[in-house]
Structure 1
Amino acid sequence: MLVIRALNDKLRIDCSGGYFVVTQGIHALGQDELAKIEKAIIAFDDFRFQNDPFGEHDFGKVRVSGRDIFWKIDYYDQTQTHHSPDPANSNVTTRVMTVMLASEY
């Protein structure tokens, strides 16, 4: 769990170790709003049992410009067609963070 958390934090904070995907709703907000959202996600640290029961830091909600924004990290195999066989192993896992408006969930 600690390894997964560290890898997820690395993607969320350093924008490394995986990919970011934004939904159409986020894309439509424009570059300035996207920059604000990215800063809010990087600064997010409100992880607690209620929103992170497994301690993996793989989901969060931020509020930016009056909008609720969700982000979620998923674990795929190297082909990105199946779930990762071992999310703690970055050699067999591709991390993908999806950023979306809460209304798109």
Structure 2
Amino acid sequence: MTNPFPDPVPPGPTPGPLPDPGPEPAPDPRPAPGPVPVPQPPPSPVPKPPGPDPVPDPDPTPEPMSQGPRATPRPPSGRRPTACGTSPRGPYGGRCARRSSPAAPV
């Protein structure tokens, strides 16, 4: 039976036997590798002397404390001024509603 797919490479001479590899290479004269050295940890810090830890001196001039969101002082009456929308009774309630209404007693 013939091959339906022709061989693209024309047949050439048959290769002969492989060449003789020659004598085996000599063993490596270097010594066999030993165990991998393990990195040593760094030396420990200087031991601290026994006794209580020294306490640093406090700063003689501490920074002033921030007042937070309320930076303005309160009025002397003790009441905090509120806008109409931030009244304790809700929007348009409280003093603003009474003040804006002409019928409400003052």
Greater per-residue strand proportion: 1
* Shorter-chain TM band: under 0.3
Higher RCO, 1 vs 2 (CA within 8 Å, ≥6 residues apart):
1
Rg larger in structure: 2
| TM-score normalised by L of structure 1 | 0.13
